[in-house]
């Protein structure tokens, strides 16, 4: 740990010393007229850079602390102020610290190495007024780094990068009863055709990704479930995770034909991006951006007629990301 600290200090020192070049050879004639140094303006710029960095850090803090009231408004305020301070700093640099001159004509485009040199001289001389150039650069760098960190910070909300095991854990085990939104157990004979039901695991947290189910009854003859799912659909009742495998919206639409001879087949549809799943074929994707089928939950009906889970889902529930196919529900 200490060695690491030393390396860090050494790196910073090297970085700061890197730009220490020998003083520029005086070419005699200046292109840009000399301007007076203005340490006051430099202080203002430094202060503005500092304010930028402070506001950007405030954004990160507000983002991280969820208990702050009116969080969204404060996020907007801090980020907006950071940009405003940065803009003000650059305005002051442009107006007070860079030598400006009025030109009748534009500079000719550089065509020869000598002109290239004069252009470099021009740029160098324009910065002549700055007495504490490195400090200013450091201030600007700090402001930029803080702003960059503020803009990247929300990416942490995309999900845990390392602790992903809880995503694959579901409350469904063999024998867990299906209950409706009022906590009443669902009976197999109450499940009608041509409509759909939302079910939850009895006694478990409903906010979990793996909790909600969508349950429909189909004609047993219509079912063509994938191999290995025999007996998963007692009396044609099938249950799938209600969470879309694309972006985790609730699969809240059920499309059922009034006259199956000529109308589209029954399908579970996600209202967000119209991912369409076939409940008769193991949740296969019929249309839309979803990349894998809806996970199916095996069902069983024991004496008493209540619907119970026959095990865990056929695959991982919830939205998809890299590697999700290689795992199973736990």
Q: Please report, as ranges, the residues that interact with another protein according to CB under 8 A.
A: 190, 192, 194-197, 252-259, 261-264, 267, 269, 271, 274, 276, 286-288
Q: Closer to another protein by CB, 258 or 326: give it.
A: 258
Q: Nearest approach, Cβ of 136 to another protein (angstroms)?
A: 28
Q: Nearest approach, Cβ of 5 to another protein (angstroms)?
A: 48
Q: Nearest approach, Cβ of 289 to another protein (angstroms)?
A: 12
Q: Closer to another protein by CB, 169 or 187: give it.
A: 187
Q: What angle do CA 28, 25, 131 make, to 5 degrees?
A: 95
Q: Nearest approach, Cβ of 193 to another protein (angstroms)?
A: 9
Q: Closer to another protein by CB, 153 or 248: give it.
A: 248
Q: Nearest approach, Cβ of 162 to another protein (angstroms)?
A: 34
Q: Closer to another protein by CB, 220 or 257: give it.
A: 257
Q: Closer to another protein by CB, 99 or 252: give it.
A: 252
């Amino acid at each position: 740990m200490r060695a690491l600290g030393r390396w860090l200090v050494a790196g910073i020192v090297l970085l700061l010393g890197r730009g220490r070049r020998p003083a520029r050879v005086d070419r005699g004639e200046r292109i840009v007229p000399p301007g007076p140094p203005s340490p006051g303006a430099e202080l203002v710029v430094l202060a503005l850079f500092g304010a930028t960095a402070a506001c950007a850090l405030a954004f990160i803090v507000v983002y991280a602390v969820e208990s702050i009231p009116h969080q969204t408004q404060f996020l907007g305020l801090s980020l907006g102020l950071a940009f405003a301070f940065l803009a003000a700093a650059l305005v002051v640099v442009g107006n007070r610290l860079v030598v400006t001159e009025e030109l009748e004509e534009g500079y000719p485009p550089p065509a020869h190495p000598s002109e290239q040199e004069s252009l470099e001289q021009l740029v160098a001389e324009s910065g002549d007024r700055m007495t504490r150039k490195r400090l200013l650069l450091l201030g600007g760098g700090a402001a930029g780094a803080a702003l960059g960190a503020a803009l990247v910070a929300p990416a942490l909300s995309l999900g845990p990068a390392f602790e992903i095991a809880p995503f694959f854990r579901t409350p469904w085990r063999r024998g867990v009863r299906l209950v409706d939104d009022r906590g009443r157990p669902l009976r197999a004979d109450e499940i009608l055709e041509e409509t759909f039901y939302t079910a939850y695991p009895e006694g478990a947290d409903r906010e979990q990704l793996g909790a909600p189910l969508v349950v429909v009854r189909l004609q047993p003859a219509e079912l063509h479930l994938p191999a290995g799912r025999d007996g998963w659909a007692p009396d044609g009742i099938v249950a799938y995770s209600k969470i879309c495998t694309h972006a985790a919206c609730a699969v809240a639409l059920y499309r059922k034909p009034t006259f199956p001879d000529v109308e589209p087949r029954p399908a579970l549809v996600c209202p967000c991006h119209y991912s369409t799943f076939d409940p008769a074929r193991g949740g296969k994707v019929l249309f839309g951006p979803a990349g894998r089928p809806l996970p199916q939950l095996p069902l069983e009906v024991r004496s008493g007629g209540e619907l119970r889970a026959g095990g865990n889902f056929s695959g991982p529930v919830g939205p998809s990301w890299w590697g999700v196919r290689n795992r199973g529900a736990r």
